[in-house]
């Protein structure tokens, strides 16, 4: 038996949309926006911290082997060169292990992505706030959308 489009429309229940009130405006435009601004700033700061450690640990682990190569070539006749080589190799190994274990570059990238995502949510809220109540997306859908994005960011967020 075939069913036409008009029959399906008549069977579909009408969805009532929630309008904007002072209560849901206060939740979204004040509380959530403030929270997202704080989280964006916190992830930005954490990303900068990881960037500093990336540089502090990453550069020496690259520079030490180059210096040791030159020192070995120039000071090959020096009787304690083997100790200097051992110290250089040990330092490089320790720095590399520390760098790889903590993954500073990856952590910086994750924090930067989360900071940008929270900033996007702030922009979405600002755009909605700039429109009149009658021209906005219905409040219940808007809150659902923002809540789903926030839940996803919270679930995937690196530690602060």
Whether pTM exceeds 0.85: no
Average pLDDT over residues 56-82: 89
Calpha distance 59→28 (Å, rounded): 44
Give the per-residue pLDDT at 73.
86
Q: Tell me the pLDDT band of 13, cut-offs 50, 70 and 90.
A: low
Task: Using the predicted structure, report yes or no on whether residue 71 has a pLDDT greater than 90.
Answer: no
Average pLDDT over residues 100-111: 94
CB 95 within 8 A of CB 60: yes
What integer best gives the mean pLDDT of the chain? 89
Q: Tell me the pLDDT band of 9, cut-offs 50, 70 and 90.
A: low
Give the per-residue pLDDT at 10.
59
Calpha distance 108→50 (Å, rounded): 5
Lowest-pLDDT choice from 80-84, 98-102, 113-117: 80-84
Give the per-residue pLDDT at 126.
94
Q: 81-102 vs 33-74: helix axis angle to the nearest 10?
A: 160
Q: Which residue has the higher pLDDT, 19 or 105?
A: 105
Residue 131 structure tokens = 């429109």
DSSP symbol at 154? H
């Amino acid at each position: 038996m075939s069913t036409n489009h008009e029959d399906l429309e008549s069977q579909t229940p009408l969805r009532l949309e929630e309008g904007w009130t002072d209560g849901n405006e206060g939740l979204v435009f004040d509380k959530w926006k403030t929270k997202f601004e704080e989280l964006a700033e916190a992830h930005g700061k954490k990303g900068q911290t990881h960037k500093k450690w990336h540089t502090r640990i990453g550069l020496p682990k690259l520079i030490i082997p180059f210096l040791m190569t030159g020192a070995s070539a120039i000071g090959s006749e020096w009787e304690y060169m083997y100790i200097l080589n051992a110290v250089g190799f040990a330092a490089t190994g320790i720095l590399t292990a520390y760098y790889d274990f903590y993954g500073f570059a990856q952590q910086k990238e994750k924090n930067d992505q989360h900071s940008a995502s929270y900033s996007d949510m702030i922009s979405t809220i600002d755009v909605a706030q700039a429109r009149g109540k009658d021209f906005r997306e219905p409040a219940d859908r808007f809150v659902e959308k923002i809540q789903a994005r926030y839940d996803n960011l919270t679930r995937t967020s690196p530690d602060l």
